[in-house]
Amino acid sequence: MKRPVSHLLFALLLAPLALGTTACSGELDPTSPGDAYTLFRDALFEKEEDIVWERLDPESHAYFQARYERLVQMNELIESYLPQTDHRLARSQSGAELIASVSDGRELFDYVFEKAQMPQDDAIIFGSGIQEIRVSEDGKSALVLTRGQQEFVMAQAEDEAWQINLVDSGDFLDTSFGWLTRNEEALAKTVEDLIAEERQKREAIIAELMNLN
């Protein structure tokens, strides 16, 4: 099991991009897909996690909640099946120790965002600017293509404001949280092996008792 990387989502999200001069955020209209994306991008560089979270759609919010719940499940597996002496190390190596710092998906997002090292580079900033916007025929979704050839899927909320769907925007989230999937699989294998070992011990004891008769 591997320890989670400190950058996770946002360093991976922005590394290939490249910010030009933008309008003042107060002048931007979130009911415009381009302005909504720019609000999101500017908030990333300014490290304004509340605005970034607000600009994400419900599916993206649900993704972080699901990842938090998986951390809780891993912690429960550790408590239920691993020896007490191994709990601290297992929590550290699996990432389950994060539940001591966060209590839901939003707090997990905040934790990841605070740990991210945001690049401060003119080329990266320029490349994150919009090159093209494609709106779907029904007007409910859009695709923002940046100068750095990154694609961001946009979804329109009931109030007509546009939000970023990170789940469908490339493999940012899967790449960032790949460590969680790997650790979960490794922990499950460890638990499976422990259960099998205990079963063999019980079967050996039963066989010995039957031979005594």
Please report the pLDDT score of residue 24 as a whole number.
Answer: 56
Length of the chain: 213
Residues of the chain where predicted confidence (pLDDT) is lower than 50: 2-9, 11-12, 14-22
Please report the pLDDT score of residue 198 as a whole number.
Answer: 67
Please report the pLDDT score of residue 34 as a whole number.
Answer: 94
162 neighbors 33 (Cβ within 8 angstroms): yes
Per-residue pLDDT tens over the stretch 72-128:
988 888 888 888 888 888 888 788 888 999 999 999 999 888 877 666 778 888 888
What one-letter code names the amino acid at 195? I
Exposure string of 102-121, with b = 16+ CB inside 10 Å and e = fewer, is beebbebbbbbbeebebbee
Interatomic CA distance for residues 153 and 139, integer angstroms? 13
Please report the pLDDT score of residue 207 as a whole number.
Answer: 62
Please report the pLDDT score of residue 194 as a whole number.
Answer: 72
Please report the pLDDT score of residue 85 as a whole number.
Answer: 84
Interatomic CA distance for residues 181 and 66, integer angstroms? 12
Please report the pLDDT score of residue 2 as a whole number.
Answer: 45
154 neighbors 137 (Cβ within 8 angstroms): no
Q: What does the DSSP assignment read for the chain?
A: --PPPSSHHHHHHHTT--------GGG--TTSHHHHHHHHHHHHHTT-HHHHHHHB-HHHHHHHHHHHHHHHHHHHHHHHHS-GGGHHHHHHHHSGGGGGT-SSHHHHHHHHHHH------HHHHHHTSEEEEEE-TTSSEEEEEETTS-EEEEEE-TTS-EEEESSSSTTHHHHHTHHHHHHHHHHHHHHHHHHHHHHHHHHHHHHHHHHH-
Rg over CA atoms, the chain? 23
- pTM value? 0.76
